[in-house]
């Protein structure tokens, strides 16, 4: 039997903060959102792309995105969430779904795209 526990880890994750919204409505039907924060460790962070926003009403707009690899231990839904990555708050794109844990040999099985748009 080969022991792997003494080998150095090839990938190192970072800690991010997931902000999960809870929407409520008051007696007048006005919407309010409260955000609960959860720190998640060992998240792989890969800068994706940066680009100018191609919209004539936002000539100075920029877009930056990350691809995040969440560990198998994270099982919450990311739909509608925001994630603070390296001090920058980004919105989760869409409704990411994890891979089947049994089909992923490594520690990460939940990939999410997040983005920040300024300007």
DSSP 32-58: EEEEEEEEEEEEEEEEEEEEE---TT-
The pLDDT value recorded for residue 102 is 83
Domain annotation covers residue 2:
no
On whether residue 1 sits in a domain, the answer given is no
The CATH number that applies at residue 58 is: 2.40.10
Task: Give the pTM.
Answer: 0.80
Q: Where does 1-119 have alpha helices with state H?
A: none
Q: Within a domain: residue 5?
A: no
Q: Is 76 helix (H, G, I), strand (E, B) or coil?
A: coil
pLDDT tens sequence for the chain (119 residues): 555 455 456 788 999 999 999 999 999 999 999 999 999 999 999 987 655 556 555 566 677 789 999 999 999 999 999 999 999 999 999 999 999 878 888 889 999 999 988 76
Inside any domain, residue 3: no
Give yes or no for a contact between 62 and 88, defined as CB atoms under 8 angstroms apart. no
Q: Provide the residue range defining the domain that includes 90.
A: 14-118
């Amino acid at each position: 039997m080969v022991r792997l526990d003494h080998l150095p880890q090839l990938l190192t994750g970072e800690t991010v903060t997931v902000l999960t919204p809870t929407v409520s409505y008051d007696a007048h039907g006005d919407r309010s959102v409260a955000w609960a924060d959860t720190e998640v460790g060992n998240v792989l962070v890969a800068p994706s792309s940066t680009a100018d926003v191609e919209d004539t009403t936002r000539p100075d707009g920029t877009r930056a995105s990350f691809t995040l690899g969440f560990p198998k231990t994270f099982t919450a839904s990311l739909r509608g969430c925001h994630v603070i990555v390296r001090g920058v708050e980004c919105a989760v794109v869409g409704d990411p779904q994890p891979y089947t844990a049994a089909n992923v040999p490594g520690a990460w099985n939940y990939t999410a795209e997040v983005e920040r748009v300024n300007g």
